[in-house]
Chain A
């Protein structure tokens, strides 16, 4: 099974996401750049996706909205700097529901062909500050996982009430 790996080093303005797929590079590239295909997978936990614009060309732009189960909307937009099939996409990314505008990151997507018709992707995100990056990673919690934290807190409270320690990894 292909595991998703992330590299988030302390104090840096960047992060990396790595993943391999059992499909040829041309096809994987299409699933990241064709809106009809993007709409079929880019939906975090319990969200619905509405793509308003998705022009995967040099100088193009995109805009989409995730709606969570409570009706909360999360909109994102960016401009596309370069689309170089089938190996690279460079684009900006901004979460429009932040309290203030101006927090934009630069994404570079690399698509690497592997033997056996497999593909490795690397997403390299560069942020304007360490705080922006850490905020984005923390926001991963909001994609439906926040609830898990609450559940864990409850469970840990329950366990600690019984004087039980969780063994280290």
Chain B
């Protein structure tokens, strides 16, 4: 199962939006970021990991410290009017990739799905 890692995923969560706003103003280490939130430090760490995977922040080592820096350029993707259209297709085609993979590993699975009221398969 492929996990989405893009700018849309990055900004979907209010805490992640606040983290972006925070580190865009000033690069800071994980502890300093966590102090601004009431959620646990591991939770903040997870959000930062996801932001990093989505390309919205980078973690830079300075001595023993890990400093989180904002990278705002990917936000332009959301501002691009064609991008949501492309994303919509891309998500469907990612589901199709998975279907094609299943069909090639076990062709018999293709006929077991009911046509009607089929729920989407993506997470």
Listed in ascending order, the chain A residues whose CB lies under 8 Å from chain B are 2-6, 8, 17, 19, 21-23, 27-28, 31, 34-37, 39-51, 136-141, 143-149, 151-152, 154-156, 158-159, 162, 164, 166-169
Residue B61 lies at the interface, judged by CB distance under 8 Å to chain A: no
Give the total number of A-B pairs whose CB atoms are below 8 A apart.
151
Q: Given that A4-B93, A40-B121, A167-B72 are contacting pairs, would A155 and B85 also be in contact in the complex, using a CB cutoff of 8 Å?
A: no
Are the C-beta atoms of A51 and B100 separated by less than 8 Å? Answer: no
Listed in ascending order, the chain B residues whose CB lies under 8 Å from chain A are 8, 11-12, 17, 20-21, 24-25, 72-73, 75-76, 78-79, 81-82, 84-93, 95-101, 103-104, 110-111, 113, 115-122
Interface on chain B toward A: helix, strand, loop, or mixed SS? helix
Are the C-beta atoms of A40 and B95 separated by less than 8 Å? Answer: yes
Chain A residues with CB below 8 A from B93, complex form: 2, 4, 19, 21, 41
Interface on chain A toward B: helix, strand, loop, or mixed SS? mixed
Chain B residues with CB below 8 A from A137, complex form: 81-82, 85
Known: A43-B118, A139-B85, A166-B73. 15 other contacts (CB 8 A): A3-B90, A8-B82, A19-B93, A31-B96, A39-B118, A45-B88, A47-B120, A137-B81, A137-B82, A140-B85, A149-B78, A151-B11, A159-B21, A164-B72, A167-B72
